Amino acid sequence: MSSSLNSPLSRRQFLSRAALAGSAAAVPLIVPASVLGRDGAVPPSEKIVMGGIGIGNRGSDDLRWMLPEKDVIFVADCDPQKARREAVKRIVDTKYGNNDFQLYSDTREYLAARPDIDAMLSTTGDRLHALMAVWAMRAGKDVYSEKPSAMTIAEGQMVVETARRYGRVYQTGTQRLSEANFVFAIELAKSGRLGKVHTAYAHIAPWDAAAMRHDWLPAQPEPPKSECDWDQWLGPCPWRPYNAEYCRGGWRGHYDFHTSCIGEWGAHTFAQAQAGLDLLDTSPIAYEYVDNPTGDGMVTHFANGAKMILSRGDKYWHGSCGMRFDGPEGWVSVADGYSRPEVSNPRLLDDFNKIVNDYIARTQRPMSHVRDFLNCVKSRRRTVAHEVVMHRAMSTVHAANICMWLKRDLKYDPAKEEFVNDVEANRLRSRAMREPYIF
């Protein structure tokens, strides 16, 4: 018989092949239990495919929080620095026992090449947080972004608008909103057990100043683009000559790249304080200038009469990223490292477990910030630190910075998102962005 594909089959050939097919069909199909989601495994169809953008020092912590989650699989990272992206690959490949993790150096090419990625972990330096979030959401990705998540009020507005327009889930990395001690203090303040809370205190970082440097570090020879793509590293910032110290964290304290000592911890603590005041959807309307380098002691006023006071030291807590709420019936304070919050009356702690458990039951929020994000990726509900929470807290950061830079009291309209009768302050709500790193 001819071997041509068009040659007719003889009756014997047809019957022989049919018998072989029948015997194959009789063999039971063996499907691994992991595919069916048995024995605690998550079937592949239910897994969240994650990618990274700029996973460095802080991002490695986020990555290690996410990797153990059974419904997550990390597949790629993008970073202009070769050493950093290869370090991430070693972590992920070791976790999964393979060599499948993919690396990229150009974010635009990365986003275009990976339609399979559901969500991004963005942990770049401050200068890129908002831009990377916007680009990723436009590409159809949900975003977990480290803080401070916007360099300006205008950047925060763009993140909010993009999340809304593209229907994306967004979480900013203010993880203490998902930790039991902080949740307890916030719930205690909101519940009325302290009376009507009139004052919140928010920790700002004990290094650097509010007035940042406007010079730049001495030029050094640029490394090969394959080792560090300096243009990509700078992103939307003004062009500055390469200096290796920038890539080691030396960008902090520079206006081009940073949000000052106020933004460093205020990105966390302003959201925490505003949560306890039940004012996460707004920002203070007045900022009182203080004549010191850091903003320590600045009093900010909300429209309902509540105050938030910036504090640099340990007057109201011990540890980092502290907060305190004062009411006519008592006070509560907490910071990192506490076994339980400190309170004016020990009896306020009697219902600690009940208050936290009631919060979990009422809100369906876990005491895990990354788990809240992953749950919301699946359910499509808003996260505990969604884009508006981020934007309003960061608007407070930026307004406090602008108050310190201009060295005068300011009034702010949270509805219009502009300073009242102050052209100079309003100019500082945005910064020029260097092409092609634009919204």
The SS3 call for residue 368 is coil
The SS3 call for residue 128 is helix
Q: Which two tokens stand for residue 176?
A: 């203490």
E-strand stretches of 174-296: 199-203, 286-287
Q: What is the topology classification, in CATH, of domain 175-211+258-427? A: Dihydrodipicolinate Reductase; domain 2 (3.30.360)
pLDDT, residue 4, reads 37
Rg of the chain, C-alpha, whole Å: 26
**Tens-place pLDDT, residues 69-123:** 999 999 999 999 999 999 999 999 999 999 999 999 999 999 999 999 999 999 9
Domain boundaries, the chain: 38-172, 175-211+258-427
What DSSP character marks residue 336? T
How far apart (Å, rounded) are the C-alpha atoms in residues 239 and 242? 9
Please state the rounded mean pLDDT for residues 290-307. 98
Best CA proximity match to 223, nearest among 380, 83, 15, 38: 83
Please state the rounded mean pLDDT for residues 145-158. 98
DSSP states of 151-207 = SSHHHHHHHHHHHHHHT--EEES-GGGGSHHHHHHHHHHHHTBTBS--EEEEE--SS
pLDDT, residue 161, reads 98
Sign (positive/negative) of CA torsion 72, 74, 79, 84?
positive
Element (H, E) at 13: helix 11-26
pLDDT, residue 202, reads 98
43-52, 108-117, 158-167: least confident range:
43-52
Q: Is the pLDDT of residue 22 over 60?
A: no
Question: CB of 309 within 8 A of CB of 288?
Answer: no
pLDDT, residue 190, reads 97
How far apart (Å, rounded) are the C-alpha atoms in residues 349 and 332? 10
Please state the rounded mean pLDDT for residues 27-55. 73
Mark out the alpha helices in 341-408 (DSSP H runs): 352-363, 369-379, 387-406
User: Burial, 385: exposed, middle or buried (Cβ in 10 Å; 0-12, 13-18, 19+)?
Assistant: buried
Best CA proximity match to 376, nearest among 87, 113, 146, 167: 167
pLDDT, residue 21, reads 46
User: What's the distance, CA 203 to chain centroid?
Assistant: 19
Please state the rounded mean pLDDT for residues 324-353. 98
How far apart (Å, rounded) are the C-alpha atoms in residues 334 and 184? 9
What DSSP character marks residue 247? I
**Tens-place pLDDT, residues 205-253:** 999 999 999 999 999 999 999 999 999 999 999 999 999 999 999 999 9
Percent of the chain past pLDDT 90, that is, above it, reads 89
pLDDT, residue 41, reads 74
Q: Is the pLDDT of residue 299 over 80?
A: yes
Q: Is the pLDDT of residue 33 over 60?
A: no
How many CA atoms does the CB half-sphere of 293 hold within 13 Å?
Answer: 9
Determine how many CB atoms are found less than 10 A away from the CB of residue 87.
15
Question: CB of 53 within 8 A of CB of 132?
Answer: yes
How far apart (Å, rounded) are the C-alpha atoms in residues 316 and 324? 7
Contacts of 350 (CB under 8 A, 6+ apart): none
Please state the rounded mean pLDDT for residues 421-425. 98
Which contacts (CB < 8 Å, 24+ apart) does range 373-379 have? Answer: 373/119, 373/142, 373/144, 373/169, 373/171, 374/48, 374/66, 374/69, 374/71, 374/72, 376/142, 376/169, 376/171, 377/48, 377/118, 377/119, 377/142, 377/169, 378/48, 378/71
Give the right CATH number for 38-172 from 2.40.30.10, 3.90.280.10, 2.170.150.70, 3.40.50.720.
Answer: 3.40.50.720
Determine how many CB atoms are found less than 10 A away from the CB of residue 239.
10
Question: CB of 286 within 8 A of CB of 300?
Answer: yes
What pLDDT band is residue 29 in, cutting at 50, 70 and 90? low
Q: Is the pLDDT of residue 1 over 60?
A: no
What pLDDT band is residue 32 in, cutting at 50, 70 and 90? low
Contacts of 82 (CB under 8 A, 6+ apart): 105, 226, 227, 228
pLDDT, residue 8, reads 45
Q: Which two tokens stand for residue 125?
A: 């330096």
How far apart (Å, rounded) are the C-alpha atoms in residues 223 and 242? 9
42-51, 274-283, 332-341, 427-436: least confident range:
42-51
Q: Is the pLDDT of residue 427 over 50?
A: yes
Question: CB of 342 within 8 A of CB of 317?
Answer: yes
How far apart (Å, rounded) are the C-alpha atoms in residues 16 and 10? 10
Best CA proximity match to 42, nearest among 82, 5, 70, 4: 70
Q: Share the mean pLDDT of the chain.
A: 93
What DSSP character marks residue 80? S
Q: Could you give the C-alpha distances from 259 to 24, 121, 208, 253, in angstroms and in order?
A: 66, 21, 10, 8
What pLDDT band is residue 30 in, cutting at 50, 70 and 90? low
Q: Is the pLDDT of residue 31 over 70?
A: no
